[in-house]
Amino acid sequence: MFGDQPDIHDFVNPYTEWELNRETGRYYKFTFVRNPYKRLISCFEDKCIQHPDDICWDSYLFCGLLRIRDFNQFVYRIFLLPGCLAEPHFAGQYLLVYDRRGKCQVDYIGKVEHIKEEYEPIRERFNLLPLPHMNRAASLTGRCWMDYYTPFTAWLVYRKYKKDFIAFGYEDEYRKLKEYLKGKK
């Protein structure tokens, strides 16, 4: 997307929080968030189904958290996991975008669901490359994302990521999911 760029982690690591805030204050910062329900399914499919033996998980919380292949169990474990121990892939997006005082750390928040339209003005403004299509949005199983959930797991995910649902405008997704699940009975 940005051509031959250095790894952002190489840039960030040597700086203190104060130095980083001073330096990045001049930058235009943007991010794209995702429907928390779909994001958690994607995380489950990637970490538990596609790459369950990835070496990076061997030391994460005694390696037991992600050694499961049942989505409901995954949701239960994520729900019980304290935020301070959450790995970024299943930490709340709010925690990644807002600081401890609730101040937004970026200039623009887009939605992955509208990335084609919302990225284009940024791309034009900064003369960036078009986004390549790298990840499939569809589930590995071909199932509708709503079919992964039960009324209880839908509620657990809503509770766990409530700040994400509210701050990023996904509250209606919980209502839609509840109605869908009610209609399946």
Rounded to whole angstroms, how far apart are CA atoms 129 and 120?
10
Residue 66: the pLDDT is 63
- Residues 93, 39: contact at Cβ < 8 Å? yes
Please indicate, yes or no, if residue 106 is contained in any of the structural domains.
yes
**What's at 169, amino acid-wise?**
G
Which of 164, 171, 36, 156 lies closest to 95, judged by CA?
164
- Residues 140, 43: contact at Cβ < 8 Å? no
Least confident of 63-67, 105-109, 144-148: 63-67
More confident residue, 151 or 51: 151
More confident residue, 122 or 55: 122
Domain count, the chain: 1
Which stretch, 17-21, 39-43, 55-59, 139-143, has highest mean pLDDT?
Answer: 39-43
Please indicate, yes or no, if residue 1 is contained in any of the structural domains.
no
| Assigned token pair, 149 | 């959930």
Average pLDDT over residues 166-171: 98
Residue 23 half-sphere exposure toward CB, CA atoms < 13 A:
9
Range of the domain at 143: 28-183
Please indicate, yes or no, if residue 34 is contained in any of the structural domains.
yes
- Residues 66, 73: contact at Cβ < 8 Å? no
The whole-chain average pLDDT of the chain stands at: 83
Please indicate, yes or no, if residue 20 is contained in any of the structural domains.
no
Residue with tokens 């958690």: 40
> Alpha-carbon dihedral of residues 107, 19, 6, 123, nearest 10 degrees?
10
**131: confidence class by pLDDT, cuts 50, 70, 90:** confident
Task: Give the percent of the chain with pLDDT over 90.
Answer: 51
Residue 8: the pLDDT is 47
Residue 184: the pLDDT is 83
Please indicate, yes or no, if residue 6 is contained in any of the structural domains.
no
Please indicate, yes or no, if residue 19 is contained in any of the structural domains.
no
Task: Give the percent of the chain with pLDDT over 70.
Answer: 78
Please indicate, yes or no, if residue 171 is contained in any of the structural domains.
yes
